[in-house]
Structure 1
Amino acid sequence: MRRARRIAAGLLCLLAGACAPRLMPPGPGAPPDTPAPALQRNVFRTADGIPLFLRHWQAQGEEKAVVLALHGFNDHSGAFAGGPEVIGVGPFLADRGITVYAPDLRGFGTSPNAGLWPGVEALTRDLADLSWLIAARHPQSPLVLLGTSMGGATVLAALADPHPPPADKVVLIAPALRARSTLPPGLAIGLFLVAHSVPWYSATGEGLDIRPSDNLPMLRAMGRDPLVLKETRMDALWGLVNLMDAAFKSPPHLKGLPLLIAYGSHDDLVPEQPLRLFASRLPDPDIQTVRTYPGGWHMLLRDLNAEIPLADIATWITAGEVP
């Protein structure tokens, strides 16, 4: 009987291990001749040796500030490049004297093992390392951390870390703040069960009544973009909620840091209530503000009227005020 119980317990442990959420594996370590982390041409090499593609737009004329821009969930750094369907955040800010860097975050875009969740610790460590490298390259310019959706949550979680990135200002575009405490009853439990029983199961989001932007040509272009992930593993969703939990708890760590949150009134992905709860706990309302754009959507900087919030952001970065 004891032997049978031991065998049963062992099988249950194996089953639990097989069904545990899977994280993106760490990199191979830095090459012997390359200090890690490192900032190279079009590449940010992480502390564990993973090469992450890095876009760069140099400020035109006198450099007024430097922005490190982080993309959203299942997206990549091309979100800031622009094209025939949308204004490019990078070129727009560069034309106004603001240098922009935008990496493919670990687990997304061109990075290895894209589609596997990298983990909160890996995301925030990469952000801190890259921020210090960029600050060292541009010592005379203020460094602004800009994050859209999941990128915004990554910025907040990193600022709450014991080893935060350097930042003179922060801009958050529709930051992902759906912490467990803001989810409908039972949803967090259901996500836990799914992520720990069938973590490999993928969902596409088809059939959901969600409209991320009013820019339909841009959305169609995203649908054709092979670097935009079209399916999401359940354990990746579980990891995203962990990140949003960390971001939602960050306000005590933001004291004294100028912060601008831009939010579209038609945002279907980030409800207004979690954002209101978060904003109510900001420690310095005199320098930390939420700007709501009537008619704006979740992809606010890629909407048809994206030039309006983009111009406001550029003015706030360089002059410290929103028109």
Structure 2
Amino acid sequence: MTPPEPAFLPEDSTFVSFDGAHLGLTVWPAEGTAQPEHVVIGLHGMNDYANAFHMAAPYWAGQGVTTYAYDQRGFGRSPKRGLWPEEEVMRQDLRTAAALARKAHPDATITVVGISMGGSVAISAFGSDNPPDADRLIASGPGLRGWGAMNFLYRASLWASTHTRPGWIVRPPERFVRIEPSDNIEMLRRTWEDSLMLRDNRIDQVYGLVSLMETAHQRVASLSPNLPVLLSYGANDYVVPPKGVKRTAKELPDHVRTVYYENGYHMLTRDLQAETVHADYLAFMVNPAGDLPSHAPEWPFR
């Protein structure tokens, strides 16, 4: 049976991808125009879904930007929730979304904004031999904690657990692990109460995520010099520790820009200072060579 043609179906909150899979889709149309000059494709992070853009996208919409954010496979409203998809399938979904955005908005500048895991997907796709058809890449608090950033004991235990008990559900004890991904406590409360969020993971999901982050690290040096890239990181990011980011920073091509938010956490687009980040990302979309409004510094460990 021939799969249906790829399509954005906003009225059904659906993104039909390359193989006919129906992924969840949320669209924030640009205000005041049906022909936006800028379009964003939003990729959420681990355990999240398109709602990760619920603060950034309305801000951008008010500035004439349309955002298409979809639920990656295994997350939110998309198929096989709670199961890790193949890496290349995730990248092909992004290529398909970019092609659809280009078809719908042929004269617009298209920016991929990847948050955390979404940043890993985007970097690994743009660093491949078949990059998405987009004009900018912004990786917000990108997942850069691959195998090479972990100690031997953790690598060995994760490998062994995945290959013997792939369906094992892991839940870090709250009394031992208290990592705050943001200083926006009210937002965190609403997020944790959202039924579309994943609250725990199979061990093979964790393994798949680490492998994806390693691929992103390995491919970052292959990002095209013709692609404007901005990588952001918060000084208070305890979800993606500095060790992995420092490791990848050494491999960044000269043309890749970085920005370091002294008051930022992992969820930069949803922190209390989120509008500062939204404005910086918008400025980069419009003029990737220009100054960012915040005048925040580059990564100190680059």
Query: TM-score with structure 1 length normalisation?
Result: 0.84
Deviation at 1:252, TM superposition (A): 2.8
1:266 and 1:164 mapped to 2: Cα distance? 31
Structure 2 match to 1:308: 276
- Asked if residue 269 in structure 1 is aligned to residue 236 in structure 2, the reply is no
Query: Once structures 1 and 2 are overlaid, which stretch shifts more, 261-270 or 276-285?
Result: 276-285
SS at match of 2:232: strand
The superposition leaves residues 40-79 of structure 1 with CA deviations (integer Å, 9 ceiling, x where unpaired) of 2331112222111111112224523111010000001011
Structure 2 match to 1:278: 248
2:192 and 2:252 mapped to 1: Cα distance? 36
2:52 and 2:42 mapped to 1: Cα distance? 10
- Asked if residue 169 in structure 1 is aligned to residue 136 in structure 2, the reply is yes
For 1:258, which of 187, 205, 228 is the aligned residue? 228
Deviation at 1:169, TM superposition (A): 0.8
SS at match of 1:189: helix
The residue type equivalent to 1:47 in the other structure is: F
- Asked if residue 227 in structure 1 is aligned to residue 196 in structure 2, the reply is yes
SS at match of 1:158: helix
- Asked if residue 145 in structure 1 is aligned to residue 112 in structure 2, the reply is yes
Deviation at 1:262, TM superposition (A): 1.5
2:42 and 2:101 mapped to 1: Cα distance? 12
| Alpha-carbon RMSD | 1.5
SS at match of 1:172: strand
- Unpaired segments ≥5 residues, structure 1: 1-28, 82-87
Question: What is the number of residues matched between the two proteins?
Answer: 284
Deviation at 1:159, TM superposition (A): 1.3
Deviation at 1:298, TM superposition (A): 0.5
For 1:69, which of 15, 37, 42 is the aligned residue? 42
1:40 and 1:163 mapped to 2: Cα distance? 25
Deviation at 1:80, TM superposition (A): 1.0
1:280 and 1:156 mapped to 2: Cα distance? 15
Question: Which structure has the larger Rg?
Answer: 1
1:176 and 1:117 mapped to 2: Cα distance? 16
- Asked if residue 48 in structure 1 is aligned to residue 15 in structure 2, the reply is no
Deviation at 1:249, TM superposition (A): 0.9
Aligned-residue sequence identity (percent) comes to 37
SS at match of 2:164: coil
The residue type equivalent to 2:136 in the other structure is: K
Query: Once structures 1 and 2 are overlaid, which stretch shifts more, 188-197 or 157-166?
Result: 157-166
Q: Within 5 Å, which residues of 2 pair with 1:1-323?
A: 30-31=2-3, 34-35=4-5, 37-41=6-10, 42-61=13-32, 63-81=36-54, 88-207=55-174, 208-256=177-225, 257-285=227-255, 288-320=256-288, 321=290, 322-323=292-293
CA contact (8 A) 1:64 1:318 kept: no
